[in-house]
Amino acid sequence: MLFALRHVTFAYRRGAAPVLHDFSQDFPAGLTILRGPSGGGKSTLLKLLAGYLAPAAGTVTTRHGRAPDAAFQRHDVGFVFQQFNLLPGVSLQRNLELAGLIGGVPPAVLAARVQHWLDRMGLQPWSATRVEQLSGGQIQRAALARALVKAPAVLLLDEPTSGLDDTNTALIAALARDWLAAGNSVIVSTHDPRLPATLGDATALTLELPAA
C-alpha cells in the first residue's frame, strides 16, 4: 500500500470545522484521481499524504510503515503545488538543480537529469530565465520538471493542468503516464475533465471528496 489513512481528522484552526473528519482510505500504488468540489479538501489531503500537514487525530502511514517525515518528503515525494512554489530570483535551471540536490540526486548525474527534464518539457530555451519572467504555462511545466528531477516514487499533483491549453495538458498527461508506466505512483487532484481520459489508466482509483 502506498498510503493508509486511518480516522484522519484535520482542521486548519482549533475549533474550526474540520476539512477532513474521521477519514479512512487506502491508496494503492499506481494512479489515484482526487475529485470533488472546490474547497472539498483535495489540496489538504495531498499535503497530509506528503506530511506537509499533520492530522489532529488519526494516522497517515506511508509504504515505509511510518508517518511521512522530512526524509520521505526529500526523497520519495515530488509535489507540484497549486501555487507552484518555484524559487524566485534564480534561473529555471538552478531551480531544478537545487531541487535535485535537496532530493539527494548524486551530483554526477544531476546536470544530465536537469537537461533531460528541460528538454522533455520544452523548456530548454528558458533554462537561464529567472522564474518570475516565465509565462503561466511555462511555470506549470517547470514545477512538474522540478518535481521529477529527483525521480520520486510518488508524484503528488495539485490541479496540474488548470488554466492550461490542450497542448500543454497533453504534455503533462503524457509525462504522468510515462511515470506510471515506469512503476511509480501518481496522485492527482483535478477538476479538469480532459485529464482522467488522457491519463487513460483503467486501474485508476477515483476518490470523490464530499462538499465541505
Task: Provide, rounded to whole angstroms, the least separation between the CB of residue 102 and ligand ATP.
Answer: 23
Q: Which parts of 137-166 interact with ligand ATP (CB under 6 A)?
A: none
Q: Which of 40, 78, 137, 160 binds ligand ATP (CB under 6 A)?
A: 40
Torsion angle defined by CA atoms of residues 201, 205, 45 and 136, in that order, rounded to the nearest 10 degrees = 20
Q: Which of 1, 7, 12, 125 binds ligand ATP (CB under 6 A)?
A: 12
Residue 104 near ligand ATP by CB under 6 A: no
Q: Which of 33, 35, 44, 184 binds ligand ATP (CB under 6 A)?
A: 44
Q: Which of 32, 43, 138, 184 binds ligand ATP (CB under 6 A)?
A: 43
Residue 49 near ligand ATP by CB under 6 A: no
Residue 41 near ligand ATP by CB under 6 A: yes
Beta-strand relationship, 57-62 and 3-10: antiparallel
Phi-psi map region of 106: left, alpha, beta (phi>0 left; psi -120 to 50 alpha): beta
Task: Report the alpha-carbon distance of residue 207 to residue 109 in Å, rounded.
Answer: 37
Residue 39 near ligand ATP by CB under 6 A: yes
Q: x/- string (CB under 6 A) for ligand ATP, residues 172-201?
A: -----------------x------------
Beta-strand relationship, 3-10 and 20-27: antiparallel
For ligand ATP, which stretch binds (CB under 6 A), given 37-45, 126-134, 171-179, 192-200? 37-45
Residue 18 near ligand ATP by CB under 6 A: no
Can you tell me whether residue 127 is helix, strand or coil?
A: coil
The x, y and z cell numbers of residue 72, run together, are: 520521505
Residue 19 near ligand ATP by CB under 6 A: yes
> Residues 85-106, buried b or exposed e (16+ Cβ, 10 A)?
ebeeeebbbbbbbebbeebebe
**Neighbour count for residue 38 (Cβ, 10 Å):** 8
Going by C-alpha positions, the residue among 94, 102, 43, 49 that lies closest to residue 71 is 102
Contact positions toward ligand ATP, by CB under 6 A?
A: 12, 19, 36, 38-44, 189, 212
